Structure 1
Protein backbone atom coordinates (compact mmCIF):
# COMPACT_ATOMS: atom_id res chain seq x y z
CA UNK A 1 0.00 0.00 0.00
CA UNK A 2 1.30 3.47 -0.92
CA UNK A 3 1.38 6.44 1.39
CA UNK A 4 -1.86 7.96 2.68
CA UNK A 5 -2.20 11.76 2.77
CA UNK A 6 -4.44 13.20 5.48
CA UNK A 7 -5.69 16.76 5.00
CA UNK A 8 -6.98 18.72 7.98
CA UNK A 9 -4.47 16.64 9.90
CA UNK A 10 -4.62 18.61 13.15
CA UNK A 11 -8.41 19.01 13.33
CA UNK A 12 -10.97 17.14 15.42
CA UNK A 13 -11.22 14.23 12.96
CA UNK A 14 -7.97 14.44 11.01
CA UNK A 15 -5.69 14.15 14.01
CA UNK A 16 -7.38 10.86 14.96
CA UNK A 17 -7.06 9.59 11.39
CA UNK A 18 -3.34 10.37 11.53
CA UNK A 19 -2.83 8.74 14.93
CA UNK A 20 -4.78 5.60 14.03
CA UNK A 21 -2.93 5.14 10.74
CA UNK A 22 0.43 5.76 12.40
CA UNK A 23 -0.50 3.42 15.25
CA UNK A 24 -1.16 0.68 12.70
CA UNK A 25 2.32 1.18 11.28
CA UNK A 26 1.09 2.56 7.95
CA UNK A 27 2.82 5.20 5.83
CA UNK A 28 0.94 8.42 6.56
CA UNK A 29 1.68 12.01 5.61
CA UNK A 30 -0.04 14.90 7.40
CA UNK A 31 -1.03 18.03 5.48
CA UNK A 32 -1.62 20.96 7.82
CA UNK A 33 -1.33 24.72 8.13
CA UNK A 34 0.62 24.16 11.34
CA UNK A 35 2.68 21.02 10.84
CA UNK A 36 4.39 21.58 14.19
CA UNK A 37 1.11 20.46 15.78
CA UNK A 38 1.24 17.06 14.07
CA UNK A 39 2.15 14.20 16.39
CA UNK A 40 5.80 13.28 16.69
CA UNK A 41 7.10 10.66 14.29
CA UNK A 42 4.63 11.46 11.48
CA UNK A 43 5.81 13.11 8.27
CA UNK A 44 4.17 16.52 8.01
CA UNK A 45 3.89 18.97 5.11
CA UNK A 46 2.90 22.59 5.59
CA UNK A 47 0.06 23.60 3.31
CA UNK A 48 -3.43 24.99 2.87
CA UNK A 49 -6.08 23.68 0.48
CA UNK A 50 -7.03 27.30 -0.18
CA UNK A 51 -3.56 27.59 -1.77
CA UNK A 52 -3.59 24.60 -4.15
CA UNK A 53 0.08 24.86 -5.15
CA UNK A 54 1.04 23.89 -1.58
CA UNK A 55 -0.67 20.53 -2.12
CA UNK A 56 1.60 19.30 -4.91
CA UNK A 57 4.66 18.46 -2.75
CA UNK A 58 2.44 16.59 -0.29
CA UNK A 59 1.05 14.32 -3.03
CA UNK A 60 4.39 12.75 -4.00
CA UNK A 61 4.12 8.92 -3.88
CA UNK A 62 0.62 9.11 -2.39
CA UNK A 63 -1.90 6.41 -3.23
CA UNK A 64 -4.91 7.53 -1.16
CA UNK A 65 -6.13 10.83 0.27
CA UNK A 66 -8.40 11.62 3.19
CA UNK A 67 -10.03 14.89 2.15
CA UNK A 68 -11.56 17.26 4.65
CA UNK A 69 -12.55 20.52 2.99
CA UNK A 70 -12.08 23.81 4.91
CA UNK A 71 -14.79 26.47 4.92
CA UNK A 72 -18.32 26.80 3.60
CA UNK A 73 -17.62 27.29 -0.11
CA UNK A 74 -16.25 24.91 -2.75
CA UNK A 75 -13.93 27.72 -3.83
CA UNK A 76 -10.94 26.23 -5.64
CA UNK A 77 -11.97 22.63 -5.01
CA UNK A 78 -11.74 21.89 -8.73
CA UNK A 79 -7.99 22.59 -8.68
CA UNK A 80 -7.53 20.52 -5.54
CA UNK A 81 -9.44 17.51 -6.87
CA UNK A 82 -7.55 17.69 -10.18
CA UNK A 83 -4.22 17.74 -8.32
CA UNK A 84 -5.25 14.71 -6.26
CA UNK A 85 -6.42 12.86 -9.37
CA UNK A 86 -3.06 13.51 -11.07
CA UNK A 87 -1.16 11.72 -8.30
CA UNK A 88 -3.42 9.45 -6.23
CA UNK A 89 -5.73 6.55 -7.03
CA UNK A 90 -8.51 7.10 -4.49
CA UNK A 91 -10.00 9.65 -2.15
CA UNK A 92 -12.11 9.33 0.98
CA UNK A 93 -14.07 12.57 1.35
CA UNK A 94 -15.66 13.71 4.60
CA UNK A 95 -18.91 15.10 3.18
CA UNK A 96 -22.27 15.80 4.84
CA UNK A 97 -25.22 13.75 6.07
CA UNK A 98 -27.18 14.04 2.84
CA UNK A 99 -25.68 13.96 -0.57
CA UNK A 100 -26.13 15.15 -4.11
CA UNK A 101 -29.68 16.22 -4.87
CA UNK A 102 -30.86 15.68 -1.28
CA UNK A 103 -30.56 19.23 0.03
CA UNK A 104 -27.03 19.16 1.44
CA UNK A 105 -25.23 22.49 1.64
CA UNK A 106 -24.10 23.27 -1.89
CA UNK A 107 -20.34 23.06 -1.37
CA UNK A 108 -20.64 19.43 -0.24
CA UNK A 109 -22.68 18.64 -3.34
CA UNK A 110 -20.22 20.42 -5.61
CA UNK A 111 -17.16 18.68 -4.19
CA UNK A 112 -18.87 15.29 -4.45
CA UNK A 113 -19.67 16.06 -8.11
CA UNK A 114 -16.07 17.08 -8.80
CA UNK A 115 -14.77 13.87 -7.26
CA UNK A 116 -17.25 11.68 -9.18
CA UNK A 117 -16.04 13.23 -12.45
CA UNK A 118 -12.32 13.08 -11.57
CA UNK A 119 -11.59 9.46 -12.42
CA UNK A 120 -10.54 8.77 -8.82
CA UNK A 121 -11.83 5.84 -6.86
CA UNK A 122 -13.93 7.41 -4.13
CA UNK A 123 -15.85 6.86 -0.92
CA UNK A 124 -18.01 9.53 0.70
CA UNK A 125 -18.45 9.65 4.46
CA UNK A 126 -21.70 11.47 5.25
CA UNK A 127 -21.92 12.09 8.99
CA UNK A 128 -24.87 13.65 10.73
CA UNK A 129 -24.21 15.92 13.68
CA UNK A 130 -20.72 15.99 15.20
CA UNK A 131 -20.65 15.55 18.97
CA UNK A 132 -17.68 17.94 18.97
CA UNK A 133 -19.94 20.79 17.85
CA UNK A 134 -21.35 20.90 21.39
CA UNK A 135 -17.94 22.20 22.53
CA UNK A 136 -19.38 25.53 21.44
CA UNK A 137 -21.50 25.39 24.59
CA UNK A 138 -18.48 25.11 26.89
CA UNK A 139 -18.63 28.58 28.42
CA UNK A 140 -22.38 28.27 28.99
CA UNK A 141 -21.96 24.81 30.54
CA UNK A 142 -19.51 26.35 33.02
CA UNK A 143 -22.24 28.84 33.99
CA UNK A 144 -24.82 26.06 34.33
CA UNK A 145 -27.22 27.24 31.60
CA UNK A 146 -27.05 26.46 27.87
CA UNK A 147 -29.05 29.02 25.89
CA UNK A 148 -29.47 27.87 22.30
CA UNK A 149 -32.39 27.44 19.85
CA UNK A 150 -34.46 24.30 19.39
CA UNK A 151 -33.83 22.38 22.59
CA UNK A 152 -36.30 19.71 21.42
CA UNK A 153 -34.29 19.03 18.25
CA UNK A 154 -33.15 15.41 18.40
CA UNK A 155 -29.91 14.17 16.84
CA UNK A 156 -27.69 11.08 16.89
CA UNK A 157 -24.32 12.81 17.32
CA UNK A 158 -21.18 10.96 16.29
CA UNK A 159 -17.89 10.80 18.19
CA UNK A 160 -14.95 12.07 16.12
CA UNK A 161 -12.98 8.94 17.01
CA UNK A 162 -15.63 6.84 15.26
CA UNK A 163 -15.48 9.05 12.18
CA UNK A 164 -11.72 8.61 12.11
CA UNK A 165 -11.97 4.86 12.65
CA UNK A 166 -14.38 4.52 9.72
CA UNK A 167 -12.09 6.65 7.54
CA UNK A 168 -9.10 4.47 8.43
CA UNK A 169 -11.08 1.29 7.77
CA UNK A 170 -12.18 2.55 4.36
CA UNK A 171 -8.68 3.79 3.48
CA UNK A 172 -7.07 0.46 4.35
CA UNK A 173 -9.55 -2.17 3.16
CA UNK A 174 -11.22 -3.15 -0.11
CA UNK A 175 -14.88 -3.04 -1.09
CA UNK A 176 -15.72 0.62 -0.47
CA UNK A 177 -15.26 2.12 -3.92
CA UNK A 178 -18.33 4.12 -4.94
CA UNK A 179 -19.93 3.85 -1.50
CA UNK A 180 -21.55 6.73 0.41
CA UNK A 181 -21.88 5.92 4.10
CA UNK A 182 -24.41 7.66 6.36
CA UNK A 183 -22.74 7.86 9.77
CA UNK A 184 -24.23 8.72 13.16
CA UNK A 185 -23.82 7.95 16.80
CA UNK A 186 -25.96 5.20 18.38
CA UNK A 187 -28.29 7.28 20.56
CA UNK A 188 -30.88 9.90 19.65
CA UNK A 189 -30.90 12.78 22.14
CA UNK A 190 -32.52 16.19 22.09
CA UNK A 191 -30.20 19.15 22.44
CA UNK A 192 -31.52 19.72 25.95
CA UNK A 193 -30.69 16.10 26.80
CA UNK A 194 -27.21 16.52 25.33
CA UNK A 195 -26.60 19.48 27.64
CA UNK A 196 -27.77 17.42 30.62
CA UNK A 197 -25.44 14.53 29.71
CA UNK A 198 -22.51 16.94 29.45
CA UNK A 199 -23.42 18.29 32.87
CA UNK A 200 -23.44 14.80 34.35
CA UNK A 201 -20.02 14.08 32.81
CA UNK A 202 -18.61 17.25 34.36
CA UNK A 203 -20.31 16.80 37.72
CA UNK A 204 -22.59 19.81 37.51
CA UNK A 205 -26.26 20.45 36.81
CA UNK A 206 -26.81 22.11 33.44
CA UNK A 207 -30.13 23.71 32.56
CA UNK A 208 -31.42 24.32 29.02
CA UNK A 209 -32.97 27.63 27.94
CA UNK A 210 -34.44 28.01 24.47
CA UNK A 211 -32.97 30.98 22.58
CA UNK A 212 -34.99 32.82 19.91
CA UNK A 213 -33.68 31.70 16.49
CA UNK A 214 -33.26 35.27 15.27
CA UNK A 215 -30.92 35.99 18.18
CA UNK A 216 -28.92 32.84 17.45
CA UNK A 217 -28.70 33.88 13.80
CA UNK A 218 -26.93 37.10 14.76
CA UNK A 219 -24.39 35.15 16.82
CA UNK A 220 -23.79 32.60 14.07
CA UNK A 221 -23.37 35.33 11.45
CA UNK A 222 -20.67 36.89 13.61
CA UNK A 223 -18.93 33.52 13.91
CA UNK A 224 -19.42 32.07 10.41
CA UNK A 225 -20.09 35.07 8.18
CA UNK A 226 -22.02 33.09 5.56
CA UNK A 227 -25.77 33.90 5.52
CA UNK A 228 -26.75 30.91 3.38
CA UNK A 229 -24.90 28.46 5.60
CA UNK A 230 -26.28 30.02 8.80
CA UNK A 231 -29.86 29.93 7.51
CA UNK A 232 -29.44 26.34 6.30
CA UNK A 233 -28.11 25.30 9.72
CA UNK A 234 -31.00 26.92 11.60
CA UNK A 235 -33.54 25.39 9.22
CA UNK A 236 -31.96 21.96 9.68
CA UNK A 237 -31.98 22.24 13.49
CA UNK A 238 -35.63 23.31 13.40
CA UNK A 239 -36.50 20.30 11.25
CA UNK A 240 -35.05 17.92 13.87
CA UNK A 241 -37.77 18.99 16.31
CA UNK A 242 -40.47 17.20 14.32
CA UNK A 243 -38.27 14.88 12.23
CA UNK A 244 -35.43 13.67 14.45
CA UNK A 245 -32.12 12.59 12.98
CA UNK A 246 -32.27 8.80 13.17
CA UNK A 247 -29.35 6.69 14.30
CA UNK A 248 -27.79 4.40 11.70
CA UNK A 249 -25.92 1.16 12.32
CA UNK A 250 -23.26 1.93 9.72
CA UNK A 251 -20.41 2.43 12.20
CA UNK A 252 -21.11 -0.94 13.83
CA UNK A 253 -21.45 -2.71 10.48
CA UNK A 254 -18.14 -1.33 9.22
CA UNK A 255 -16.09 -1.61 12.40
CA UNK A 256 -17.63 -4.71 13.97
CA UNK A 257 -18.22 -2.94 17.29
CA UNK A 258 -20.89 -0.58 18.64
CA UNK A 259 -20.55 3.10 17.89
CA UNK A 260 -19.39 5.24 20.83
CA UNK A 261 -22.23 6.86 22.75
CA UNK A 262 -22.67 10.57 23.37
CA UNK A 263 -22.16 9.90 27.06
CA UNK A 264 -18.75 8.39 26.26
CA UNK A 265 -17.92 11.45 24.17
CA UNK A 266 -18.92 13.75 27.04
CA UNK A 267 -16.72 11.79 29.46
CA UNK A 268 -13.81 11.95 27.01
CA UNK A 269 -14.20 15.73 26.80
CA UNK A 270 -15.26 16.55 30.35
CA UNK A 271 -12.09 18.59 30.91
CA UNK A 272 -13.00 20.84 27.96
CA UNK A 273 -16.19 21.93 29.77
CA UNK A 274 -14.65 22.54 33.19
Structure 2
Protein backbone atom coordinates (compact mmCIF):
# COMPACT_ATOMS: atom_id res chain seq x y z
CA UNK A 1 0.00 0.00 0.00
CA UNK A 2 1.42 3.35 -1.00
CA UNK A 3 2.39 5.67 1.84
CA UNK A 4 -0.15 8.44 2.47
CA UNK A 5 0.92 12.02 1.74
CA UNK A 6 1.54 14.28 4.76
CA UNK A 7 -1.61 15.93 6.11
CA UNK A 8 -0.16 19.49 5.94
CA UNK A 9 0.42 19.14 2.20
CA UNK A 10 -3.17 17.97 1.73
CA UNK A 11 -4.37 21.07 3.61
CA UNK A 12 -2.17 23.24 1.40
CA UNK A 13 -3.69 21.57 -1.67
CA UNK A 14 -7.22 22.25 -0.36
CA UNK A 15 -6.59 25.95 0.22
CA UNK A 16 -4.74 26.37 -3.08
CA UNK A 17 -7.47 24.54 -5.01
CA UNK A 18 -10.09 26.83 -3.50
CA UNK A 19 -8.06 29.94 -4.41
CA UNK A 20 -6.40 28.74 -7.61
CA UNK A 21 -3.66 31.20 -6.73
CA UNK A 22 -0.38 30.57 -4.87
CA UNK A 23 -0.23 34.10 -3.46
CA UNK A 24 -3.74 34.08 -1.94
CA UNK A 25 -3.20 30.56 -0.61
CA UNK A 26 0.01 31.68 1.06
CA UNK A 27 -1.83 34.57 2.74
CA UNK A 28 -4.48 32.26 4.16
CA UNK A 29 -1.93 29.68 5.31
CA UNK A 30 0.43 32.32 6.75
CA UNK A 31 3.41 30.94 4.86
CA UNK A 32 5.39 32.19 1.87
CA UNK A 33 4.33 31.74 -1.74
CA UNK A 34 7.48 29.68 -2.31
CA UNK A 35 6.53 27.32 0.53
CA UNK A 36 3.09 26.77 -1.03
CA UNK A 37 4.65 26.05 -4.43
CA UNK A 38 7.14 23.59 -2.92
CA UNK A 39 4.47 21.73 -0.94
CA UNK A 40 2.25 21.37 -4.01
CA UNK A 41 5.23 20.16 -6.08
CA UNK A 42 6.13 17.64 -3.36
CA UNK A 43 2.52 16.36 -3.25
CA UNK A 44 2.41 15.98 -7.02
CA UNK A 45 5.74 14.13 -6.97
CA UNK A 46 4.41 11.83 -4.24
CA UNK A 47 1.25 11.05 -6.22
CA UNK A 48 2.99 10.78 -9.58
CA UNK A 49 0.72 13.16 -11.51
CA UNK A 50 0.05 16.93 -11.62
CA UNK A 51 -2.82 18.49 -9.69
CA UNK A 52 -2.60 21.98 -11.17
CA UNK A 53 -2.02 23.45 -14.62
CA UNK A 54 0.36 26.42 -14.31
CA UNK A 55 -0.90 29.06 -16.71
CA UNK A 56 -0.03 32.68 -17.37
CA UNK A 57 -3.32 33.83 -15.86
CA UNK A 58 -3.04 31.60 -12.81
CA UNK A 59 -3.77 28.04 -11.80
CA UNK A 60 -6.44 25.56 -12.83
CA UNK A 61 -7.07 22.04 -11.62
CA UNK A 62 -6.17 19.05 -13.73
CA UNK A 63 -8.67 16.20 -14.07
CA UNK A 64 -6.88 14.46 -11.19
CA UNK A 65 -6.98 17.65 -9.11
CA UNK A 66 -10.72 17.99 -9.71
CA UNK A 67 -11.20 14.41 -8.57
CA UNK A 68 -9.12 15.02 -5.44
CA UNK A 69 -10.79 18.26 -4.32
CA UNK A 70 -14.21 17.00 -3.09
CA UNK A 71 -12.56 14.06 -1.33
CA UNK A 72 -10.07 16.28 0.51
CA UNK A 73 -12.88 18.69 1.42
CA UNK A 74 -14.79 15.78 2.93
CA UNK A 75 -11.74 14.62 4.89
CA UNK A 76 -11.16 18.02 6.50
CA UNK A 77 -14.87 18.48 7.14
CA UNK A 78 -14.91 15.20 9.06
CA UNK A 79 -11.84 16.23 11.04
CA UNK A 80 -13.48 19.56 11.90
CA UNK A 81 -16.68 17.84 13.05
CA UNK A 82 -14.72 15.41 15.21
CA UNK A 83 -12.77 18.22 16.86
CA UNK A 84 -15.97 20.16 17.60
CA UNK A 85 -18.01 17.20 18.84
CA UNK A 86 -15.33 15.62 21.02
CA UNK A 87 -14.29 18.96 22.47
CA UNK A 88 -17.93 19.82 23.12
CA UNK A 89 -18.49 16.57 25.02
CA UNK A 90 -15.47 17.00 27.23
CA UNK A 91 -16.09 20.62 28.17
CA UNK A 92 -18.12 20.95 31.33
CA UNK A 93 -21.31 22.99 31.17
CA UNK A 94 -21.18 25.86 33.67
CA UNK A 95 -24.46 26.34 35.52
CA UNK A 96 -25.33 28.94 38.16
CA UNK A 97 -28.25 28.54 40.56
CA UNK A 98 -29.51 30.08 43.82
CA UNK A 99 -29.20 28.02 47.00
CA UNK A 100 -32.98 27.92 47.42
CA UNK A 101 -33.33 25.62 44.38
CA UNK A 102 -30.61 23.17 45.44
CA UNK A 103 -33.06 20.85 47.19
CA UNK A 104 -34.69 20.22 43.80
CA UNK A 105 -31.80 20.74 41.40
CA UNK A 106 -28.95 18.78 42.96
CA UNK A 107 -30.57 15.31 42.89
CA UNK A 108 -31.53 15.84 39.27
CA UNK A 109 -28.05 16.90 38.24
CA UNK A 110 -26.72 13.78 39.95
CA UNK A 111 -29.18 11.71 37.92
CA UNK A 112 -28.14 13.56 34.75
CA UNK A 113 -24.48 12.70 35.36
CA UNK A 114 -25.39 9.02 35.73
CA UNK A 115 -27.28 9.06 32.46
CA UNK A 116 -24.90 11.39 30.60
CA UNK A 117 -21.38 11.05 32.02
CA UNK A 118 -20.11 12.46 28.71
CA UNK A 119 -21.66 15.86 29.53
CA UNK A 120 -20.25 17.02 32.89
CA UNK A 121 -21.82 19.96 34.71
CA UNK A 122 -20.04 22.46 36.96
CA UNK A 123 -22.56 23.97 39.38
CA UNK A 124 -22.00 27.28 41.18
CA UNK A 125 -24.43 28.25 43.93
CA UNK A 126 -25.21 31.73 45.19
CA UNK A 127 -27.58 33.39 47.64
CA UNK A 128 -28.22 36.09 45.04
CA UNK A 129 -30.75 35.83 42.25
CA UNK A 130 -30.06 36.68 38.64
CA UNK A 131 -27.11 36.42 36.26
CA UNK A 132 -25.09 38.73 34.03
CA UNK A 133 -23.73 36.68 31.13
CA UNK A 134 -21.61 39.60 29.92
CA UNK A 135 -19.61 39.55 33.15
CA UNK A 136 -20.07 35.99 34.39
CA UNK A 137 -18.69 32.96 32.56
CA UNK A 138 -21.74 30.70 32.83
CA UNK A 139 -23.46 28.81 30.04
CA UNK A 140 -26.86 28.94 31.74
CA UNK A 141 -28.47 29.80 35.06
CA UNK A 142 -31.52 29.09 37.16
CA UNK A 143 -33.08 32.37 38.26
CA UNK A 144 -35.88 33.06 40.72
CA UNK A 145 -38.36 35.86 40.31
CA UNK A 146 -40.72 37.14 37.61
CA UNK A 147 -40.18 35.91 34.03
CA UNK A 148 -36.91 37.42 32.68
CA UNK A 149 -37.02 39.96 29.88
CA UNK A 150 -36.72 39.06 26.22
CA UNK A 151 -32.97 39.67 26.07
CA UNK A 152 -32.43 36.15 27.41
CA UNK A 153 -33.63 32.79 26.17
CA UNK A 154 -35.91 31.50 28.92
CA UNK A 155 -37.47 28.14 29.80
CA UNK A 156 -39.93 27.94 32.70
CA UNK A 157 -39.26 25.29 35.32
CA UNK A 158 -42.14 25.89 37.75
CA UNK A 159 -44.12 28.58 39.51
CA UNK A 160 -43.66 29.27 43.22
CA UNK A 161 -46.43 27.72 45.35
CA UNK A 162 -46.10 28.33 49.08
CA UNK A 163 -47.42 25.87 51.64
CA UNK A 164 -46.66 25.03 55.29
CA UNK A 165 -44.79 21.78 55.99
CA UNK A 166 -43.70 19.93 59.10
CA UNK A 167 -42.62 16.49 60.30
CA UNK A 168 -45.22 13.77 60.72
CA UNK A 169 -44.45 13.35 64.46
CA UNK A 170 -45.19 17.04 64.98
CA UNK A 171 -48.42 16.80 62.96
CA UNK A 172 -49.57 13.81 64.99
CA UNK A 173 -48.25 15.15 68.29
CA UNK A 174 -50.19 16.41 71.32
CA UNK A 175 -50.39 20.04 70.10
CA UNK A 176 -53.23 20.29 67.55
CA UNK A 177 -52.44 21.22 63.94
CA UNK A 178 -55.78 20.65 62.25
CA UNK A 179 -56.60 24.16 61.03
CA UNK A 180 -54.45 27.18 60.10
CA UNK A 181 -55.50 28.83 63.38
CA UNK A 182 -53.62 26.09 65.23
CA UNK A 183 -50.35 27.53 63.88
CA UNK A 184 -50.60 30.01 66.74
CA UNK A 185 -49.46 27.19 69.05
CA UNK A 186 -46.39 26.25 66.97
CA UNK A 187 -42.99 27.74 66.18
CA UNK A 188 -42.99 29.17 62.67
CA UNK A 189 -39.82 28.64 60.64
CA UNK A 190 -38.96 31.29 58.05
CA UNK A 191 -36.78 30.31 55.02
CA UNK A 192 -35.46 33.89 54.78
CA UNK A 193 -34.61 36.79 57.05
CA UNK A 194 -37.93 38.44 56.20
CA UNK A 195 -41.45 37.12 56.92
CA UNK A 196 -42.86 37.62 53.43
CA UNK A 197 -43.63 33.98 52.66
CA UNK A 198 -45.57 33.27 55.84
CA UNK A 199 -47.46 36.55 55.56
CA UNK A 200 -48.46 35.79 51.95
CA UNK A 201 -49.81 32.35 52.84
CA UNK A 202 -51.64 33.51 55.99
CA UNK A 203 -53.26 36.36 54.07
CA UNK A 204 -54.62 33.90 51.49
CA UNK A 205 -55.81 31.61 54.30
CA UNK A 206 -57.47 34.62 55.98
CA UNK A 207 -55.72 33.86 59.28
CA UNK A 208 -54.20 36.40 61.66
CA UNK A 209 -51.46 35.17 64.00
CA UNK A 210 -49.53 37.03 66.65
CA UNK A 211 -46.51 34.74 66.61
CA UNK A 212 -45.25 35.34 63.04
CA UNK A 213 -42.45 37.69 64.07
CA UNK A 214 -41.53 35.41 66.97
CA UNK A 215 -40.60 32.58 64.64
CA UNK A 216 -37.10 31.38 63.80
CA UNK A 217 -35.44 32.85 60.71
CA UNK A 218 -32.95 31.11 58.42
CA UNK A 219 -30.87 32.33 55.51
CA UNK A 220 -31.75 29.44 53.20
CA UNK A 221 -34.75 27.27 52.42
CA UNK A 222 -32.64 24.16 52.97
CA UNK A 223 -31.93 25.05 56.60
CA UNK A 224 -35.58 25.78 57.31
CA UNK A 225 -36.68 22.48 55.75
CA UNK A 226 -34.04 20.53 57.65
CA UNK A 227 -35.23 21.98 60.96
CA UNK A 228 -38.86 21.27 60.05
CA UNK A 229 -38.05 17.64 59.24
CA UNK A 230 -36.56 17.29 62.73
CA UNK A 231 -39.82 18.43 64.33
CA UNK A 232 -38.59 21.85 65.45
CA UNK A 233 -41.57 23.72 64.03
CA UNK A 234 -43.66 24.43 60.95
CA UNK A 235 -41.85 25.85 57.92
CA UNK A 236 -43.19 27.60 54.85
CA UNK A 237 -41.75 26.42 51.57
CA UNK A 238 -42.23 26.15 47.84
CA UNK A 239 -44.21 22.99 47.09
CA UNK A 240 -42.29 22.44 43.84
CA UNK A 241 -38.89 22.52 45.56
CA UNK A 242 -39.78 20.14 48.41
CA UNK A 243 -41.62 17.51 46.38
CA UNK A 244 -38.91 14.93 47.01
CA UNK A 245 -39.15 15.50 50.80
CA UNK A 246 -42.92 15.05 50.66
CA UNK A 247 -42.67 11.88 48.56
CA UNK A 248 -40.07 10.41 50.93
CA UNK A 249 -42.14 11.30 54.00
CA UNK A 250 -39.49 13.56 55.51
CA UNK A 251 -42.08 16.35 55.43
CA UNK A 252 -45.87 16.45 55.32
CA UNK A 253 -48.38 19.14 54.38
CA UNK A 254 -50.82 19.81 57.22
CA UNK A 255 -53.07 21.84 54.87
CA UNK A 256 -54.01 21.61 51.20
CA UNK A 257 -53.73 25.32 50.48
CA UNK A 258 -50.89 26.27 48.11
CA UNK A 259 -50.46 29.97 47.35
CA UNK A 260 -49.04 31.16 44.02
CA UNK A 261 -46.91 34.27 44.43
CA UNK A 262 -46.53 35.17 40.75
CA UNK A 263 -42.82 34.37 40.96
CA UNK A 264 -41.08 31.26 39.74
CA UNK A 265 -37.92 29.50 38.64
CA UNK A 266 -36.60 29.81 35.10
CA UNK A 267 -33.69 28.46 33.09
CA UNK A 268 -31.98 31.26 31.19
CA UNK A 269 -29.10 31.39 28.72
CA UNK A 270 -27.83 33.85 26.09
CA UNK A 271 -29.75 33.93 22.81
CA UNK A 272 -26.51 34.35 20.87
CA UNK A 273 -24.45 32.45 20.07
CA UNK A 274 -26.69 29.43 19.68
CA UNK A 275 -26.26 27.12 22.69
CA UNK A 276 -24.30 23.92 21.96
CA UNK A 277 -26.19 20.65 21.64
CA UNK A 278 -25.33 19.26 25.10
CA UNK A 279 -26.54 22.46 26.80
CA UNK A 280 -29.85 22.34 24.93
CA UNK A 281 -30.23 18.68 25.92
CA UNK A 282 -29.60 19.47 29.60
CA UNK A 283 -32.01 22.43 29.60
CA UNK A 284 -34.78 20.41 27.95
CA UNK A 285 -34.19 17.48 30.30
CA UNK A 286 -34.47 19.70 33.39
CA UNK A 287 -37.70 21.19 32.06
CA UNK A 288 -39.10 17.69 31.57
CA UNK A 289 -38.13 16.80 35.13
CA UNK A 290 -39.83 19.93 36.47
CA UNK A 291 -43.06 19.43 34.52
CA UNK A 292 -43.26 15.74 35.46
CA UNK A 293 -43.71 16.35 39.17
Identify the TM-score tier after normalising by the shorter chain. Answer: 0.3 to 0.5
- Give the TM-score normalised by the residue count of structure 2: 0.31
Q: Which has the larger radius of gyration?
A: 2
Greater relative contact order (CA < 8 Å, ≥ 6 in sequence): 2
- Give the TM-score normalised by the residue count of structure 1: 0.33
